[in-house]
């Protein structure tokens, strides 16, 4: 295994798992604040169900390395919407210890963009040559 492929696998697996855990929580306990944030923005609450694409289907695709780039783009879009609709008032708020309040959300966003740019690598179901992988 080349180091580059190992790095891509590690990035895909960790990002996918961490985002998937949020999706599993929403499957178990409902959409919660997602519907509230959409309503506050004047959008239909039914759009909240799209979060399952960004936090369940997309992470699974990324972990498996199947349609990886599309899955990563869906996760990035999901995170961008969450930042804008759910956290806009705190988007660049710095904590007393110097870190961003939303650093985890930003890490998810930019890690997903990195996966979309890098692709899945050889160690994936779709293989390194597939267009969306």
Query: What's the domain count of the chain?
Result: 1
- Segment 48-59 shows an average pLDDT of 96
- Asked, for residue 24, whether it belongs to a domain, the answer is yes
Cα(54)–Cα(74) distance, rounded to whole angstroms?
5
Which pLDDT score, from 0 to 100, does residue 129 have? Answer: 79
What is the reported pTM?
0.91
Asked if residues 79 and 115 have their Cβ atoms less than 8 Å apart, the reply is no
Band (pLDDT 50/70/90 cuts) for residue 84 is very high
Distances (CA, A) of 38 to 48, 51, 72, 76: 7, 11, 22, 18
Q: Which domain holds residue 11?
A: 3-118
Residue 90 has pLDDT above 70, yes or no: yes
Which pLDDT score, from 0 to 100, does residue 1 have? Answer: 63
- Asked, for residue 127, whether it belongs to a domain, the answer is no
Residue 128 has pLDDT above 80, yes or no: no
């Amino acid at each position: 295994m080349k180091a580059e492929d190992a790095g891509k696998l590690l990035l895909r697996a960790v990002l996918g798992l961490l985002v998937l855990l949020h999706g599993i929580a929403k499957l178990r306990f409902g959409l919660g604040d997602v519907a509230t944030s959409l309503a506050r923005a004047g959008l239909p609450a039914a759009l909240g169900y799209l979060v399952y694409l960004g936090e369940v289907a997309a992470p699974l695709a990324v972990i498996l390395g199947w349609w990886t780039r599309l899955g990563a783009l869906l996760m990035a879009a999901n995170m961008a919407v969450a930042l804008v609709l759910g956290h806009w008032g705190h988007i660049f708020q710095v904590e007393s210890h110097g870190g961003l309040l939303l650093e985890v959300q930003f890490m998810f966003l930019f890690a997903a963009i990195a996966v979309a740019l890098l692709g899945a690598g050889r160690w994936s179901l779709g293989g390194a040559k597939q267009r969306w992988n």
